[in-house]
Chains A and B, each alone.
Chain A
């Protein structure tokens, strides 16, 4: 632990060095070992880490450390899915850890947004924050004016200590939901009881693979070897996407579909499968409810001509993939998260689920309608669970219970501003960058400026930090103990502290401990977060017998020898024990109906294109970044120095736009200006820019994005998703 400069400069730090000298050292001190210079370098040590980003792959890593310095990272060969490799982002990690751009010390900005930053000690930071919390509590009679927005910057289990920080000060306001995948989660919850995908390594057994709105070459690169192996064994790869992605370019068949019409394509396929009697009646009838009712609907309401017209996919192609998918046995579908970011996104996933059920591909090795899973996440969430201080006043929910006040993460700006009893006055942001990632950036800016106090914990200076009063420097995962599970593969890995935290960075749990000490010093009993325990002890508390059994270990320390794969069958739902109320696949879902949705996976129209804004602006995940992480690093800035908007040449010509022209993209919410790249990878009514946060740039795709909810998400995640891809704009030469 570094002494603060004030501490060692403040004292009369006269340290005698090698021999007699009266030199006053401030930064140097005696080295413990004599003739240390002659000693050889420490041997290279290796540590196990896990990439904790919001990424399918959650890669196992081997970290090489020499003399306390992280030298390089590699994929962990003991990790069966990662298989000794990382992606471009993963290999760039040393550049993230040792970037001179990292936030190094607690800093205070006055006033917020001015760029006037002063360095403060941790003590001053905690004192300021603690006093603000206590002041708000006194003024409003509760800690509800304090709002937490945390999401996926680091998915490590111990990082749930951020929620624990808030619980320990009382009942607070919480941004609830997930911007990523909630509509699809609900779809699978209605159909199967929860989301539960096959082991992705099992894709090798597929005879036919459809990647539906899934750009694995950019966002889940470690799945490709399994897909390729299946192809070597004869499987055909079909990619359905509105954009000809890198993944699509590798496919045997690429289908460019009109956005938001995936359900129509699946229904067209279903109709052709029924007409040709390729239905697995036995599986569907034995395992599901309402199947025949849905078949009747398809027969009555769906035609191939309609499906073709709606989706833009030629009829013969629909017939081809319907036949191939239904007869390949087993055939695997991977449903990407992009396709459910529409006002009918969840419903489209339900229709695709039904396609899997009707062909008997659910519960089969080499099959599945694969979306994601949370089967391996059964940790204790010890850092997250703290009782509120005695006498805490909470929000009385509709069920009459007192607790936190939930607001919608996917309409954060609006929901924060809408609170009045009591209003939200303070924001705490960790693992989250709403300044760059939330819809309607103008509204976010306005909401932030209305706050009394904003605290952000982060590693780099991004848009959210820019709008904060205090920023606290976060450790990277190499400086922390943690354990990580994946929402895609079945592996779980330990994350060791490979290097000491740089500068004055602290983990979220360490921050909570400091805050608790300060709050209790100022007002005894005001914070229940425990103030003891080493980072490794905190990690140890996350394990339980269930996890041990699932991973076949007796102690978390065994994970230091290598990550473990959960003992689960390769095919999800192979036991036929669905987790719906009826314990069967609910093609007819009463729960969906109760929630105001169609009971059956029937077609629901896509959002109508507004006349004034006829161009769809899609903002999918980037290649060189993960949301607002990575793109700011030097390698990425060299490789991909500036954002571009992809425009079909025919559309560009209409507006006099040529390659490299600056284009203004706008609607009534806001605008962005970005350089044009002409390409036929997108269609004539869809423009594409990849969401990312570039270093020293105000580029942000969300200025035109309305907080329009997707159709599902409430049931399993608390709030509906966000129709990111129903973003309609006009363009002109800037």
Chain B
């Protein structure tokens, strides 16, 4: 059974908000953490309370603490964000699916095109098509948030055919994409984060992944990227 089977719409909505908050955080970058952290904290609290997961709560407390920090600290976090995800140095944890899952570990890999096709099933495409890889973490998160919103909508309309369609899409996307790399990505972050905010963020990504874990039929492959991640460290990531 998946997490949304018996979920009240309100919880689904909160879940969607968490996805979107994460999407925004990665899309708007280190320079806008002062705007993107608070919504993340809010949605995270709601999820953590609902599922009563102490690790998520703890991680969220760290997030909350830094969401109200001073400008100097925001700058430090921004630098760390760019070191981890953007550059101009070789980023430690590039936020693109194919970097983790393709045998080449490059951007614009087969996963990128598969994700593009997935979006097309809903007549969607990325705004930065052909410039930004379609499997950018924010875009994937936005897409699943969208699918979740469709589930809520169709549930409200009691359109069972559509409900099933969107549940299947959500499930498939999670199984074939986000669910396969989010934990590896989160581990890469936690292994190299030099600021507590990003260790906490990594915890939240792991929690999100775990919440959706029943959707995953395949074991997430490990060590697909970042040779610094040892196989041993993989066991400590469950909520």
Binding site for B on A (CB under 8 A): 1-3, 5-6, 8-9, 17-18, 21-23, 25-32, 34-37, 39, 41, 67-70, 94-95, 98-105, 107, 115-119, 460-461, 465, 471, 473, 499-504, 632, 634, 695-696
**Which of B27, B108, B123, B138 makes the CB contact (< 8 A) with A98?**
B108
- Of the candidates A23, A35, A502, A696, which one forms a contact with B90 in the assembled complex, judged by CB atoms under 8 Å apart? A696
> Would you list the 9 A-B pairs with minimal beta carbon distance, nearest first?
A100-B94, A101-B90, A2-B128, A37-B120, A98-B106, A2-B131, A36-B120, A37-B121, A31-B125
> B130 in the interface, Cβ–Cβ < 8 Å?
yes
CB distance from B228 to the nearest CB of A (A): 11
B60 on the A face (CB < 8 A): no
Check A502 against B127 for contact (C-beta < 8 Å). no
Residues in B whose Cβ lies below 8 Å from that of A117: 79, 82-83, 86-89
B15 within 8 A of partner (CB): no
Q: Is B49 an interface residue (CB 8 A)?
A: no
Smallest Cβ-Cβ distance to A101: which chain B residue: B90
Q: How many residues of B are counted as interface, with CB atoms below 8 angstroms from the partner's CB atoms?
A: 56
- Cβ-neighbour of B123 out of A2, A36, A100 (below 8 A): A36
B127 touches A9 (CB 8 A): no
B124 adjacent to A28 (CB under 8 Å): yes
Please provide the chain B residues from 44 to 94 with a CB less than 8 Å away from any CB of chain A in the complex: 75, 78-79, 82-83, 86-91, 94
Q: Does A26 lie within 8 Å of B27, measured CB to CB?
A: yes
Given A26-B142, A100-B106, A461-B88, does the pair A18, B123 have CB atoms closer than 8 Å?
Answer: yes
B167 within 8 A of A: no
Q: Decide if B120 touches A115 in the complex (CB within 8 Å).
A: no
Using Cβ atoms and an 8 Å threshold, which residues of chain B touch A36? 120, 123, 125
How far is it, in angstroms, between the C-alpha of A34 and the C-alpha of B121 when the chains are bound?
9
Chain B residue with the shortest CB-CB distance to A505:
B131
Interfacial chain A residues near B79, Cβ < 8 Å: 115-118
Interface residues in B125-160 by Cβ distance below 8 A to A read 125-132, 136, 138-139, 142-143, 145-146, 149-150, 153
**Pairwise interchain contact B122-A17, C-beta atoms closer than 8 A:** yes
Q: Give 11 A-B contacts (CB < 8 Å), ordered by A residue.
A: A3-B127, A5-B29, A8-B127, A23-B145, A27-B128, A35-B123, A37-B120, A100-B91, A100-B107, A104-B88, A117-B79
- Interface stretch among B109-117, B174-182, B210-218, B229-237? B109-117
Report the number of A-B residue pairs with Cβ-Cβ less than 8 Å. 169
Q: How far is the CB of B35 from chain A (nearest CB, A)?
A: 10
Q: Cβ of B31 and Cβ of A118 under 8 Å apart?
A: yes
Query: Which residues in A have their C-beta under 8 angstroms from that of B132?
Result: 2, 502-503
> Which of A69, A100, A115 has the most chain B CB atoms closer than 10 A to its own CB?
A100
Are B96 and A5 closer than 8 Å at their CB atoms?
no
B23 touches A67 (CB 8 A): no
Minimal Cβ-Cβ distance residue in A for B89: A461
The CA-CA distance from A96 to B135 in the complex, in Å, is: 19
Q: How far is the CB of B47 from the nearest CB of chain A, in Å? A: 19
Cross-chain contact A69 with B112 (CB below 8 angstroms): yes
Measured in the bound complex, the distance between the Cα atoms of B31 and A116 in whole Å is 12
Nearest CB to that of B122 among chain A residues? A18
Known: A27-B136, A100-B99, A107-B82. 4 other contacts (CB 8 A): A28-B127, A105-B87, A500-B130, A500-B131
Q: Which residue of B lies closest to A13 (CB)?
A: B127
- Residue contact B75 to A116, C-beta cutoff 8 Å: yes
A25 with B27, Cβ < 8 A, contacts A34-B123, A95-B104, A117-B83 known: no
A697 CB to nearest chain B CB (Å):
11
Q: Is A27 a contact of B23 with CB atoms below 8 Å? A: yes
B183 within 8 A of A: no
* Residue numbers in B under 8 Å from A18 (CB-CB): 122-124
Contact yes or no, A67 B113, CB < 8 A: yes
CA distance A562 to B84 in the complex (A): 43
**Is B24 on the interface with A (CB-CB < 8 A)?**
yes
Assembled-state Cα–Cα distance A500/B131 (Å)? 6
- In the assembled complex, the Cα of A621 lies from the Cα of B87 at a distance in Å of 28
- Pair A115/B104 contact, Cβ less than 8 Å: no
CB distance from A696 to the nearest CB of B (A): 7
Interface residue ranges, B against A (CB under 8 Å): 23-24, 27-31, 75, 78-79, 82-83, 86-91, 94, 96, 99, 104-109, 112-113, 116-132, 136, 138-139, 142-143, 145-146, 149-150, 153
- How distant is A502 from chain B, measured CB to nearest CB, in Å? 6
B153 cross-chain contacts in A, Cβ below 8 A: 21
Instruction: Identify the closest chain B residue to A460 (Cβ).
Output: B90
On whether A21 and B86 interact (CB within 8 A), knowing A37-B121, A100-B107, the answer reads: no
Which residues of chain A are near B83, meaning CB under 8 Å? 115, 117
Q: Nearest CB to that of B117 among chain A residues?
A: A37
Q: How distant is the Cα of A528 from the Cα of B54 in the complex, in angstroms?
A: 63
Measured CB to CB, the closest approach of chain B to A42, in angstroms, equals 11
Chain B: minimal CB distance from A467 (Å): 12
Contacts of A461 in B (CB 8 A): 87-90
- Max chain B C-beta neighbours (<10 A), residue from A6, A118, A634: A118
Q: Which residues of B contact A3 (CB under 8 A)?
A: 127-128
A27 CB contact (under 8 Å) in B27, B99, B104, B150: B27
The answer to whether B149 touches A23, judged by C-beta atoms less than 8 angstroms apart, is yes
Q: How far is the CA of A31 from the CA of B123 in the complex (A)?
A: 5
Given contacts A100-B99, A119-B86, A696-B90, contact A17 B124 (CB under 8 A): yes
Cβ B106 vs Cβ A95 within 8 A: yes
Query: For residue B108, which residues in chain A have a CB less than 8 angstroms away from its CB?
Result: 69-70, 98, 502
Task: Please name all residues of chain B whose beta carbon is closer than 8 Å to the beta carbon of A69 when the two chains form the complex.
Answer: 108, 112-113
Residues of B within 8 A of A100 (CB): 90-91, 94, 96, 99, 105-107
Name the residue on B nearest A470 (C-beta). B88
Decide yes or no: A68 and B23 within 8 Å by CB, A27-B138, A36-B123, A107-B82 being known contacts: no
In whole Å, how far is B9's beta carbon from the nearest beta carbon of chain A?
A: 14
Q: Which residues of B contact A116 (CB under 8 A)?
A: 75, 79
Known: A17-B122, A117-B79, A119-B29. A107 touches B88 (CB 8 A): yes
A95-B104, A461-B88 known; A27+B28 contact, CB < 8 A? no
Q: Considering only CB atoms, which chain B residue lies closest to A458 in the complex? A: B88
CB contacts (< 8 Å) of A35 on chain B: these are 123
Contact yes or no, B82 A118, CB < 8 A: yes
- Given the complex, which residues of A lie within 8 Å of B145, measured CB to CB? 23
Nearest CB in chain A: distance from B56 CB, A: 25
B131 interface neighbour in A1, A103, A634, Cβ under 8 Å:
A1
Residue among A9, A34, A460, A465 facing the most chain B CB atoms (10 A cut-off): A9
Residues of A within 8 A of B149 (CB): 21-23
Complex CA–CA separation, A67 to B94 (angstroms)? 22
Decide if A26 touches B128 in the complex (CB within 8 Å): no
In the assembled complex, how far is the CB of residue A246 from the closest CB belonging to chain B, in whole angstroms?
28
Provide the residues of chain B in CB contact with A119, threshold 8 Å: 29-31, 82, 86
* Residue from A28, A634, A696 in contact with B146 in the complex, judged by beta carbons closer than 8 Å: A28
Contact status of A103 and B88, CB under 8 A, knowing A3-B127, A95-B106: yes
A153 to chain B, nearest CB (A): 16
Question: Would you give the shortest CB distance from A24 to chain B, in whole angstroms?
Answer: 8
Contacting residues, chain A, for B138 (C-beta < 8 A): 26-27
Which residue of chain B has its CB nearest to the CB of A502? B131
Kindly state the separation between the CA atoms of A95 and B126 in the bound complex, as whole angstroms: 23
For B150, the chain A residues whose CB sits under 8 A away are: 21, 23
Report yes or no: A31 in contact with B31, Cβ–Cβ below 8 A: no
Given the known interface contacts A69-B108, A104-B86, the answer about A27 and B117 at a Cβ–Cβ threshold of 8 Å is no
Minimum CB–CB distance for A466 against chain B, Å: 8
Nearest Cβ in chain B — how far from A45, in angstroms? 13
Closest Cβ of chain B: how far from A218's Cβ, in Å?
Answer: 25
Find chain A residues with CB under 8 A from B27 CB: 5, 9, 26-27
A465, B88: Cα distance in complex, Å:
8
Task: Say how far B123's CB is from chain A's closest CB, in angstroms.
Answer: 5
Min CB distance B108 to A, Å, is: 5
A3, B132: Cα distance in complex, Å = 10
Q: Given A27-B127, A36-B120, does the pair A5, B28 have CB atoms closer than 8 Å?
A: yes
> In whole Å, how far is A599's beta carbon from the nearest beta carbon of chain B?
52
Residues in chain B near residue A471, CB distance under 8 A: 88
Inter-chain contacts of A503 with B (CB < 8 A): 131-132
Q: Complex: how many Å from CA A23 to CA B148?
A: 10
